[in-house]
Each structure stands twice: as C-alpha cells, then as structure tokens.
Amino acid sequence: MDKRENKRTPLLGDDFPKMKVETTHGVIELPQELSGKWFVLFSHPADFTPVCTTEFYAFQKRYDEFKEMNCELIGLSVDQVFAHIKWEEWIKENLDIEIQFPIIADTGAVAETLGLIHPGKGTNTVRAVFVVDAEGKIRIMLHYPQELGRNMDEIIRIVKGMQTADKNNVAMPANWPNNELIKDRVIVPPAKDVKTSKERLEKAKAGEFECYDWWLCHKKL
C-alpha cells in the first residue's frame, strides 16, 4: 500500500504542520519561528531550471512588498542545500540580484507532508503556494503545473486581500481592487437572518453602504 494513502494533505484552515527544516539560512522551525507573521511557502520543481529561475528573480524583486505586509517568503525543493547555495550564487552573478529569503533543502519529507509530489512527475515537487497567516493557519493553497510560472503580483494581491478581509470583516470581489462592478470597494458579509436582511436596505438608504440588493452590499474602506 502506498504510504501516502495514510496521510492527509493539509486543508484550508488547518494549522500549518509543525516541522524543523534545513534551509539556506540555517535550521528553521515552522511555523513557530514565524509566529506573528504571515508567510508564503512556495515549492519549485528543481534548482538550475529556467522557469524556476525566473520565479525566484520575480519573488526577490517584490520581497520588500511582502515584508511591508508583515509577510515572509520561503522557497522549497527536493534539492540539497549546497545546490540551493550554488544556484543563488549563479543568480547573483548572472542576473545581478541576491536572493534574501531562505530556501528549504528538502529530503522529500516536507513535500510528502504537504502533498507536493506529483505521482506522474517523478520526485520533483509541483509548483505550489501556501499562504499562512500570523496564527499559523493555512489560508490559501495554489497548485500550478511545471510548465506555468506563477504570477507574483497575484500572490501579493492574495496576501493583501486576506489581510484586508480579516481586519475589516469583509469579503473581496473578483479582481479586487479593480473590480468591474464596484472598483476598489469591498463586499459586506451577506445577511444571515430575515431581520438583518431587512435592515440592510435601510442602512443603504442612510449611506452606510450601497446595495444592489440586501444580499449584495458593498462599501468603501
């Protein structure tokens, strides 16, 4: 029997699994050492590969934006730490940018725990993204095929959107903050009872927010 059958891949809302990992910045205990911070853990198929190299360059170019959101970056692949180090050196020497975030050197255990090994792709990790909040909860999981590089601006939007939703008890519309209907406004959580549904339109008349109907209301932050 495949051992993976007895293991459950983490789901949205789960605690990020506790693990001690070897990285290019030394040994790190996750998620404990990043308690109070958000972090984006992203896996890549392998070092010294073209798509992955463009992704690391793009992540580093936006690293300050992530840090401004109290969010750290952590890379991961099933490669030894010296391979990560040599790849970082190549990127610095040839692309004139220094990778400042840690990269996990995985033996396969982390990838197995997080469900990152695709049975049809050998031992390479898929392109996955885990967005973990300041409480250590998994809030977003994204998976990409090896052929498609990730959009870093979308990952920034994801973190910013989730933090905004948490802080203001709202939801974010499609393509926020550039939604086709309500632009940069946010969605007021739907009414869950008759009394609240009736109050919604009254509050809209008072200018507290705007509504297309009692179940679709929005406001400016």
Closest by CA to 192, choosing from 180, 203, 182, 200, is: 200
Residue of 52, 71, 211, 217 with catalytic role: 52
Output the six-digit token pair for 82.
Answer: 């010296």
| Strand partners of residue 41 | 74, 130
Q: Is 52 a catalytic residue?
A: yes
Instruction: Scan for tokens 């996750």, then name that residue.
Output: 30
Local structure of 178: helix, strand or coil: coil
Judge contact between 63 and 156, C-beta under 8 A: no
The DSSP line for 22-33 is: EEBTEEEEETGG
- What is d(CA 67, CA 156) in angstroms, rounded to the nearest whole number? 11
7 burial via Cβ count (<10 Å: 0-12, 13-18, 19+): exposed
Looking at the annotation, which residues are catalytic?
52
